Chain A
Amino acid sequence: MKTLKFFALFALLVLALSTNQTFAQVERVEMRVDGLACPFCSYGLEKKLKEVKGVDKVTIYVDKGMAVLTSKKMQSINVEQLEPVVVAAGFTPGPISLTATGAISEKNGAPVFSVSGTDIMFMLKNNAQLEKFRAGSNATPVKVTGSLAKEMPQGHQAHPYTLTIDKVEVTK
């Protein structure tokens, strides 16, 4: 009976942990947008970006040329959709930075970041932040903030963006 209870508790723990991973997501994106001039543009871009999967709130800063997106609860912003949407809305997309939760691991000998609860995987660019984290801890999940660049090593089946981590912390 005791063994049964132990397994039941263990199963619940595993379930809770896996559910917690599905909470993880690309939860915030900042994107430079060139060509924003007027409210007809900014409200229009706002409308188009809200149609992107996972996006809840969109704030457009006309003067800064910046769009800031936050995700719906328990959903992840589909980063790949952003650039085509911005282009279709009549603007020029610029650099993207994001905050996301997931796991840092290796694939084909290269560091990658997998966004939990999704099949999104970013190649990671080596930098001091990444080295420091990998030297100290490999705990997951982690929350990272960093910038994306559209480049992918040949033959690597990852997301078409490379992520440069500015900040990484282990989530509870």
Chain B
Amino acid sequence: MKRLLSTGLGLGLALALWGCEQRPQKLTRIEFVAQFGGQGNAPGQLNEPIGIALDGADHIYVADAGNQRIQKFTTDGKFILTWGMQGSDEGELDRPIHLSVSADSLVYVPEYGNDRVQVFDANGKFQFTWGKTGKAAGELDAPGTVSFDGNSHALVTDFYNHRIQIFDKRGNFISQFGVEGHENGQFYYPTDVAVDQQSNFLVADAYNHRVQKFNAEGNFLKNWGRQGKAPGEFDVANSLAFDTAGRIYVVDFANHRVQVFDAEGNFLLQFGAQGSGNGQFERPTDIAIDVQGVIYVADWGNHRIQKFRIVES
């Protein structure tokens, strides 16, 4: 806690503007605001935070994967509560990954190690679970993400099965799309999926180093990106999110940065570079953006959450 407080004081002094590469015609920039966490297993400390989710009520949930738990903070980084420990029983966790909060404020936690999704209330009380290991429809092999579409359907990335599965919010299987491969519409270890304002699905196709876009029926529309370090290229595209203007933010894991694209996939800007300073990243793994344009990034290797804001000129 002391560490959190001192971090907070330091942050107050350190509203550093972080460098962004911009095209002249784009007027947006990203500013570093604050950070919280720090390596450890005490309440409020983090060990390999890999997933973050916002609930729309100024709370942020963190999948603290190295500590096998979920932690809940205010969006200012004040610790509220924690739950979970390693195991496979109800309420226990084995590598929680990209979690989500539903419209009815339930926390959906995909577990890599247990091949299931567990659902908790906002206080961490177990509600229900679904999923078992396998390749058949509805079965999972390392679920990495739960996201919701406009119909409250839960979209789950199924890492080792190289597909996206769609469930109702109680976990009943509805449909799936994608197979292993490198062609359009195929996946190679997908790690995140998000739904845009037009109900299209965007998939972080991590080891194809690209983003793929599908319509609501799962039909391929387009993709962009390839392995590399240049703008618009990725080295493990592992998470994505939208802002209210429809821009797409893609977490570029091994390039230690976040890249921002317009809705058509045109590169706009990037922020972050490898390091442990304010606004720098060490292998970031997830991103969440609220309606005020505040961005939260899970800075996995630095064991912290960083907070930024979008500045529209």
Name A's B-contacting residues (CB within 8 A): 37-40, 43-44, 46-47, 50, 89-90
Question: Is B189 a contact partner of A90 (Cβ separation < 8 A)?
Answer: yes
Question: Is A39 a contact partner of B48 (Cβ separation < 8 A)?
Answer: yes
- Point out the residues of chain A lying under 8 angstroms from B131, CB to CB: none
- Point out the residues of chain B lying under 8 angstroms from A44, CB to CB: 112, 142, 159-160
Give Cα A50 to B113, complex, Å.
Answer: 9
B300 in the interface (beta carbon within 8 A): yes
Question: Is A47 a contact partner of B113 (Cβ separation < 8 A)?
Answer: yes
- Point out the residues of chain A lying under 8 angstroms from B207, CB to CB: 90
Give Cα A116 to B120, complex, Å.
Answer: 46
B50 in the interface (beta carbon within 8 A): yes
**B135 CB to nearest A CB, Å:** 13
Further pairs besides A38-B254, A39-B48: 18, Cβ < 8 Å: A37-B236, A37-B253, A38-B206, A38-B236, A38-B285, A39-B283, A40-B159, A40-B189, A40-B206, A43-B95, A43-B97, A43-B112, A44-B112, A44-B160, A46-B113, A47-B94, A50-B113, A89-B160
Give Cα A90 to B189, complex, Å.
Answer: 10
**A91 CB to nearest B CB, Å:** 12
- Point out the residues of chain A lying under 8 angstroms from B65, CB to CB: 39, 43
Total number of B residues with any Cβ neighbor in A under 8 Å? 23
User: Which applies to chain A's interface (DSSP): helix, strand, loop or mixed?
Assistant: helix
Give Cα A90 to B159, complex, Å.
Answer: 11
Residues of chain B from 95 to 144 with CB closer than 8 A to chain A in the complex: 95, 97, 112-113, 142, 144
Give Cα A47 to B238, complex, Å.
Answer: 19
Would you give the 0/1 interface string for B233-268, flagging 1 where the beta carbon is closer than 8 Å to chain A?
000101000000000000001100000000000000
- Point out the residues of chain B lying under 8 angstroms from A40, CB to CB: 97, 112, 142, 144, 159, 189, 191, 206, 238
**Mind listing 19 A-B residue pairs with CB under 8 Å?**
A37-B236, A37-B254, A38-B238, A38-B285, A39-B283, A39-B300, A40-B97, A40-B159, A40-B191, A43-B65, A43-B95, A43-B112, A43-B142, A44-B112, A44-B159, A47-B112, A47-B142, A90-B189, A90-B207
Residues of chain B from 283 to 313 with CB closer than 8 A to chain A in the complex: 283, 285, 300
- Point out the residues of chain B lying under 8 angstroms from A46, CB to CB: 95, 113
